[in-house]
Structure 1
Amino acid sequence: MTIFTVYSIIYTWIEIIALPLMHIHKSMFIMMVDSFLRYEQLIGYYVICFYCASYALCISFLATQFYYRYVVVCRPDDLGKLKGFRLFFIFLPGSFFFVIWYSLVFFAMEKTEEKEEIARQVILDVYNEDSSTLAFIALQFWDNYSDGSRHFRWIDAGGYFGCLCIMGICFSTIMFCALKIFFKLKCEQTAMSAKTKDMNRQLLLTLVFQTALPFFTMYSTVGIILTLPIFEIEVGRKGNIVASLACVYPAIEPLIAIFFVKDFRRVKGQLTLQLTIFHCKKAKIILVEAQICSLTSL
């Protein structure tokens, strides 16, 4: 959980550096750099590819977190195999997916003169930018010819299906681990005390929401936004909500546990109270110092 939380902060900074803008035009999904690097063709291209790969690492770490919970709850005898440096082995799949996703975006969604020309007018009309000077990547599914014929772009489609496979593997891992943990905790409720049952119920609720929310914020939205261009369904700038939802979930995830688990709420309440007392004392000290200064000046 600590690694996922730390990486979530890093992922946010990567997004700030890239400031990705998404747009769907006909059969093309466009992702542009809107930060200070938007006119840096080479660096901007690497940055936007790195941002996309960072998303893959984020969902991979989330799946890794669920796998570790599964080992702790359902296979405690195997927990010893994940001690020390061996713990880092469970992060290898995520690193592998990072490299694969980066390669898929780098090669399959590469900016070409043809994509520049197709995106030129819409980028000029909507963003008042020249596509030839702007750093962006694009996923294009169809080539339309003047005679009315169409050609499916298999290289771009390969990148699309590769990304879907990675998302499918990660979410399948989460679902498998979450269901195993859920039924394990359910089965153990019969032999629990009332207090333990209450804690178990809190953990089950936390598990349900931590499983459902990523599907709606990080998986289904990205899958849908990448699929719409196949059917030439244009949503324009509305596609940017996907990036917003993807970066929001890492911040929401710890709040779910704080909301459902009483012990976490109690600690949060104590910290809030201590901070309030600290600020009140500080305000009193400042007030006393101000009064002393006022009396001294008299």
Structure 2
Amino acid sequence: MIWLHLIQYAGFFSAQVTNSVLVYLIMTKAEKLFGSYRHVMCTFAMYSLIYAWIEVLTQPVMHIKGPIFIVYMDSPMKYYTPEILSRIEGYKLVLIFIPCLICFVFWFEFVYWGMANTIEKQEYMKEELKFYYDEDSTKVSFIAPMYWSIGPNGEKIWKFWECMSSVGCIVIIVICFSTILYCAYNIYRSMKSTQCHMSAKTLELNRQLFITLTFQTILPFCMMYSPVGLLIALPVFEVYVGKIANYVGASLAVYPSLEPIIAIICIKEFRRTVLCYRRRKIQATTTQSNVSSSYRI
């Protein structure tokens, strides 16, 4: 638990630094390079900052046992019920990305109705949470789908709606990532078809943006979509993962600090600014001029 929370805090502070640096670079360097596209980049960076705050305020702990995975909060808010989520509904939500809003609403509904905190789940996970985390399952706030229970004759009794809620979450993950792949493929096709009409400078800039996009597609797949998908799917096959499931929480905590680093490294103007390339170049030129002047004297 100490290591998990260290990773979560480190991810939070790193995300504040890297995303703030990226926002600064976008505001000061990107206007001539990207035009209005810089607003999109800045919006994503701001969302990453918000995401990191949510992650550190909840500090999720995850565990898998039999037909159930559980996610509970280990932050100072862990004994508060999640009813506070209702305060961010309606007009208070940012409506800039309608598809994201729709996914959020569906995800919230699947989790709220299909992964609710019940007495049956509290009893099933009571010893497990006490042994591994020294937590009382009847007090701590958590979400958990339970795919089946055991009947009086030892038969499995499948819980249809809990299974469907997890299926719905996986469908959302597939749709989101498929959308990213679809857009990336179309961007690549568009670049290929128009590159003969571009100047060398524009072509180089598009190449940098596409490389950035490629890595920003691979990163969430490895650190968000795949881990969360496995967290949902493994209990169906009764794969006992136990506290190793906290890899998902650690991965989600680190992710927002890594995404802006991709843009900072892959976009040449950003990279040069961070590494003070121009300043070193000017200093080197000044030094060389002074040396040349000395030789003339």
When normalised by structure 2's length, the TM-score is 0.72
Q: RMSD of the TM alignment (CA)?
A: 2.6
| Distance in 2 separating the partners of 1:217 and 1:193 | 36
- Aligned ranges 1:97-136 → 2 under 5 Å: 97-136=103-142
Cα shift readout 1:104-132 (whole Å, capped 9, x = no counterpart)? 11111111111111001111111112211
> Retained in 1: the 8 A contact 2:272–2:278?
no
Query: How many pairs are equivalent?
Result: 236
**Structure 2 unaligned runs (5+)?**
1-40, 284-297
1:219 is aligned to 2:216 = no
Helix, strand or coil for the counterpart of 1:233? coil
> Retained in 2: the 8 A contact 1:182–1:207?
no
| Distance in 1 separating the partners of 2:201 and 2:78 | 56
Amino acid in structure 1 at the alignment position of 2:190 = K
Which structure carries more relative contact order (alpha carbon 8 Å, separation 6+)? Answer: 2
Cα 1:240/1:267, change in 2 over 3 Å: same
Helix, strand or coil for the counterpart of 1:147? coil
Cα 1:93/1:194, change in 2 over 3 Å: closer
**Structure 1 unaligned runs (5+)?**
55-87, 278-298
Amino acid in structure 2 at the alignment position of 1:102 = F
Q: Percent of pairs identical after alignment?
A: 40
Helix, strand or coil for the counterpart of 1:22? strand
Q: What's the CA shift for 1:252? A: 1.7
| Distance in 2 separating the partners of 1:139 and 1:159 | 8
Q: What's the CA shift for 1:204? A: 2.7
> Retained in 2: the 8 A contact 1:20–1:33?
yes
Helix, strand or coil for the counterpart of 1:140? coil
Aligned partner of 2:167 among 161, 166, 171: 161
> Retained in 2: the 8 A contact 1:39–1:134?
yes
1:28 is aligned to 2:34 = no
Cα 1:272/1:16, change in 2 over 3 Å: farther
> Retained in 2: the 8 A contact 1:189–1:200?
no
> Retained in 2: the 8 A contact 1:142–1:152?
yes
> Retained in 1: the 8 A contact 2:95–2:101?
no
- Aligned ranges 1:199-218 → 2 under 5 Å: 199-218=205-224
| Distance in 1 separating the partners of 2:149 and 2:263 | 48
